[in-house]
Amino acid sequence: MATAALTAGPFISPAAAGYGSGHTRTQQAMDSAVRDGVPGVTGQVGDAYSIWPGTSGVKDLASRTPRSVVDHYRIGSMTKAFVATVEVQLAERCLHIGVEQLLRGQQLPLGARHRT
């Protein structure tokens, strides 16, 4: 199974990006996000055989420093929420059952609720 992660940071036009090949649509999506107003995007797609890194936009508006494939992000506990969301979406697709059924009886994050 391949995994993908994208992160966004400070605004401007798309910067040159990408190493490797085969991820043209991923790079186009990143460039599109920057054209739509996201300051910068760093993405990585990996599987058991390779890792493709890509960037678009800038990481610093004042200096116009482009995003780098080696940028680091501190997201702390947000990882758990991100992974849980992806797992539930995959389970919903694969099992053909609703999220509500998967999470019945579970405590939901603030603001979320079970549908009846």
At residue 110 the predicted structure's pLDDT band, cuts being 50, 70 and 90, is low
Query: Is residue 67 scored above 90 in pLDDT?
Result: yes
Q: Name the more confident of 114 and 49.
A: 49
The arithmetic mean of pLDDT across residues 102-108, rounded, is 68
d(CA 31, CA 17) in angstroms, rounded, equals: 9
| 77-109 as b/e: b if 16+ CB within 10 A | eeeeeeeeeeeeeeeeeeeeeebeeeeeeeeee
Q: Which amino acid is at 38?
A: V
Predicted pLDDT at 109: 61
pLDDT value at 75 more than 80: no
SS3 94: helix
pLDDT band at 48 (very low <50, low <70, confident <90, very high): confident
pLDDT at 17: 38
pLDDT at res. 91: 77
